[in-house]
Copies of this chain bind each other. A is one copy, B any other.
Amino acid sequence: MNRREFVRSVGAVSVAPTALMQEPQKPNQENAVQLSQIHGASEQDEKAPGPFLPGRRRVGYAIVGLGRLSLDQILPAFGSSQYCAPVALVSGDKTKALRIADQYGIDSASVYGYDSFERLADNPRVQAIYVVLPNGLHEEYVLRAAKIKKHILCEKPMARTSAEARRMIAGCAAANVKLMIAYRQQYEPHNMALRDRVASGAMGKLRGFISSNSQQQGDPSQWRLNLKLAGGGCLPDVGLYCLNAARFLSGEEPNEVSATLWQPKNDPRFREVEASCSFTLKFSSGFVASCSTSYDVHKSQFLRLEGEKAWAELSPAFGYHGNKLRYSQLQGEVETEFTPQIEEKNQFALEMDHFAECILENRAPRTPGEEGLRDHIIMEAIYEAGRTRRSVTLSGSPV
């Protein structure tokens, strides 16, 4: 079963096959300004940012949850967005929320508490709700958002379990609202360049994917270490990036999983969740993904794809900044490393802009709820494999 077949099989929001690989069509091109190149033909063209939709026409987002991710990444990202604007905040801390609203020019009347969440229904400026809450609250707030008929961008991991994910998909389908999971790496230029390189066949058939996404977690009281709120430890939080990249970059789906878990006994951080997880995904083509993730490792992030005719490495692969793509293959008779100078862009802006385009043009997002569901099904198989110390065949996927 390949990605498209899977996406079709789980039903819910239907995704036209071609949409999966389709680049966004930019709205508002009529407003663009053209400039001539001042450099010679042997220089890379200077690509202008924008064009930008004026504020009143931008897709308005309500940000739900004002933790680190919202404050450090998502809200600042609107400054680089073409099509989006933050227009409402939902937080349990009114004082903090009002401060932030003031910084971002959000009307204080558009600051809500969790108990008044449903009042977002009455705010015509809110077209999309971005759920940035602990994982254990995703289902509840996605379903509440669907009920008030708003489109939903939900942070990864989509939920705690595949059962939650299925209910979220069903709820959005029933409400006829769009649901997108915030797999920002799928909108990041280096990742997209690598995906295109794979798809072009230049690397030959893919044989290996090797990746790590690990970090040293601190404060034992944080919600990420609370099983009820997080749904797991390092695996759904950071290991998910490796898992998703293996699928996204290859365009293939795994049919067998093996895994090793580690949860030390005396560490207060790991009373409820795993500290480390190494897992191997086997694909029917012979492609194998070897992934490592940990909450007890100094920040370490990379991925390497191995093909018959080339390898490619992305580093740090999953971070917010500084991504570098290298690949190596024969050039003439000499093995040569290539480093394309791909310009960094704000990943959150790209992902929010994609969803805005989907809303403006009534298209399905490239990373719908089904994409998150698939990862939950695989993560459940990883946990089972780790517990049973046996390989687990993915149900519904032919070997």
- A188: shortest Cβ distance to chain B, in Å? 15
Tell me which of B103, B208, B336 contacts A292 (CB under 8 A). Answer: B208
Assess the B339–A337 pair: CB atoms within 8 A: yes
- Is A72 on the interface with B (CB-CB < 8 A)? yes
- Which chain B residue has the least Cβ–Cβ distance from A85? B105
Segment 310-368 of A: residues with Cβ below 8 Å from B:
310-311, 321-322, 328-331, 333-344
Assess the B260–A280 pair: CB atoms within 8 A: yes
Segment 238-281 of A: residues with Cβ below 8 Å from B:
256, 258, 260, 262, 264, 275-276, 278, 280
Given contacts A46-B68, A306-B298, contact A340 B335 (CB under 8 A): yes
Given contacts A33-B96, A39-B215, contact A103 B50 (CB under 8 A): yes
A195-236 interface mask toward B, CB cutoff 8 Å, 1 = contact, 0 = none? 000000001100110101011111100101000000000000
Given contacts A215-B39, A218-B40, A338-B336, contact A276 B309 (CB under 8 A): no
Assess the B339–A322 pair: CB atoms within 8 A: no
Given contacts A298-B329, A341-B335, contact A42 B258 (CB under 8 A): no
CA distance A277 to B345 in the complex (A): 34
Assess the B337–A36 pair: CB atoms within 8 A: no
Assess the B212–A304 pair: CB atoms within 8 A: yes
Contacts of A96 in B (CB 8 A): 33
| Copies of this chain, tallied across the complex | 4
- A side interface size, CB within 8 A: 103
Q: Which of A66, A207, A311, A338 has the most CB of B within 10 A?
A: A207
Assess the A40–B217 pair: CB atoms within 8 A: yes
Tell me which of B306, B331, B333 contacts A214 (CB under 8 A). Answer: B306
- A72: shortest Cβ distance to chain B, in Å? 5
- A234: shortest Cβ distance to chain B, in Å? 11
- Is A162 on the interface with B (CB-CB < 8 A)? no
Given contacts A207-B294, A309-B298, A335-B44, contact A344 B322 (CB under 8 A): yes
Assess the A260–B276 pair: CB atoms within 8 A: no
Q: Which residues of A contact B (CB under 8 A)?
A: 31, 33, 35-46, 48-55, 66-68, 71-72, 76, 78-81, 96, 99-100, 102-105, 203-204, 207-208, 210, 212, 214-219, 222, 224, 256, 258, 260, 262, 264, 275-276, 278, 280, 282, 286, 288, 290-292, 294, 296-300, 302, 304, 306-311, 321-322, 328-331, 333-344, 389-391
Instruction: Known pairs A38-B222, A290-B292; list 5 more (Cβ under 8 Å).
Output: A33-B96, A76-B80, A212-B306, A298-B329, A337-B340
